[in-house]
Amino acid sequence: MKIKDLLIMLLASVFVFTACSVNDTGDEGDHQPPATEYHLFINEFMASNDNAYADENGEYDDWIELYNAGDKEVNIAGMYLSDNPDDATKWQIPTGNDKTKIPAGGFLVLWADGQTDQGVLHLPFKLSSGGEAIVVTASDGETTIDQHIYGPQTTDISEGRDPDGSDNWVKFSVPTPGASNTGAVATFPPTIANIVVTPDTVSASDAVTVSATVTDSDGDLQTVKIIYGADISAGTEKDMTANGDTYTADLGTFPDGSTIYFYIKATDAASHVALSDTLSFQVGFVAPVLYINEFMASNDTTYFDPATNDYPDWIEIYNPSSTPVDIGGYYITDGLDDLTAWQIPTTAPDSTTIPAGGFLLLLADKKPEAGVLHVNVKLSGSGEQIGLTAPNGTTIIDSLTFGQQTTDVSEGREPDGSDNWVFFTNPTPGASNN
């Protein structure tokens, strides 16, 4: 064989060997560049999906959209997804499935539904509508590809980058999962909270002031007014004065025994109008003395309710006075920024009246259809607030803020009605804590 022919054969062998070793799988889509070279973004997500976008099983679950802004296909198999930056490797995307590939300029939707048995695009966690984080980490388990920390979300409203891959995050009233973020940007009405009447007990000589916290997430709040009077349909309208997010109005004095009704109206530049509940104050009204005396926010075995066949959260109210008090028409809440969360019905005074020196148990199970003592709030075992408000919706009869609770352990006053709060391993719902 000539030397020239031998050289040609050797070169051909080297070429074949090199070509095979570039990608042993023969699938260029499985080849991942260094993490620093990715152009991959968390582009849109929805953390409260009731009716906006269904998965392949027809279920409405939380979702996360990834966008590949690069000019090459990216396979996310082997990468990690998490809702906690302190546990960035919570879930590794399975390998060996073409569904994990995102074409250049393309999008991919992953379902944060806690159902990994439904497929490789289903994650073992859900997103919190109250706000948390989304993290994408490279297959090395260390390099963060993208991360987004978000705040409270609105049902069926997504949040995403506008335009795709940019640093500008907006809310979308028309979500576009799996496609470019060209949907209508959502706008929101103002919110009204923390309405307070000063003084707590109004007499004929008192000048009354009403205050409230008014905010607008769009930043286009224009006017805040209060409408008030003995006849609200013909009430007086007055501008409220701003001090940051707190708006106040001085209403003057009113005759003894009169009841004054009022509501607050907030308007923004987009013509959104927010109205508070219609509340009231009674001149000369003296609130009864009642105590939130004991409660349980994590009830597994201690108090069984046959009406619902369940173990509900509960709140005990104590009447230390010498006369009965009917709390029909009073409000109960699990957040002191919303004093009128739930109004106890006035239709069953035999059930809602607390005898002198007696106790009444409210079942915090969000099942008001089960009876007048079933209130439409639930308590959080991780801690929150409880408030009892007079029928006017503004006078707080009693309230408390509590911390982390233990299952089947109640917290209450010892003795009844005192300022000394303790934990009870032997709860006494509807009876004295002594």
pLDDT over 50 (residue 23): no
Residue 21 lies in a domain: no
DSSP one-letter string for 194-220? EEEEESSS--TTPPEEEEEEEE-TTS-
pLDDT value of residue 222: 96
* Among 141, 172, 203, residue at a domain's last position: 172
Q: Which amino acid is at 388?
A: L
pTM of the entire structure? Answer: 0.56
The segment with the largest mean pLDDT, out of 32-46, 50-64, 68-82, is 68-82
Indicate the burial class of 339 (C-beta count within 10 angstroms; 0-12, 13-18, 19 or more). Answer: buried
Residue 149 backbone dihedrals phi, psi, to 5 degrees: -105, 125
Mean pLDDT computed over every residue of the chain: 89
Residue 432 resides in a domain? no
Residue range 369-411, pLDDT digits in tens: 999 999 999 998 889 999 999 999 989 999 999 999 999 999 9
CATH number at residue 56: 2.60.40.1260
What's the whole-number mean pLDDT along residues 277-302? 94
Q: Is the pLDDT of residue 225 over 90?
A: yes
**Residue 430, in any domain of the structure:** no
Same domain, 130 and 234: no
Residue 385 to residue 332: CA distance in whole angstroms: 11
Q: Are 309 and 391 in the same domain?
A: yes
With a pLDDT cut of 70, the percent of the chain lying above it is 91
Range of the domain at 359: 291-424
19 part of a folded domain: no
Quick one: 199 and 101 in the same domain? no
pLDDT at position 188: 84
pLDDT tens for each residue of 305-321 = 999 999 999 999 999 99
In this predicted model, what pLDDT tens digit does every residue of 243-283 receive, in sequence order?
A: 999 999 999 999 999 999 999 999 999 899 999 999 999 99
pLDDT, tens digit (0-9, with 9 covering 90-100), for 322-366: 999 999 999 999 999 889 999 999 999 999 999 999 999 999 999
Give the model's pLDDT for residue 1: 46
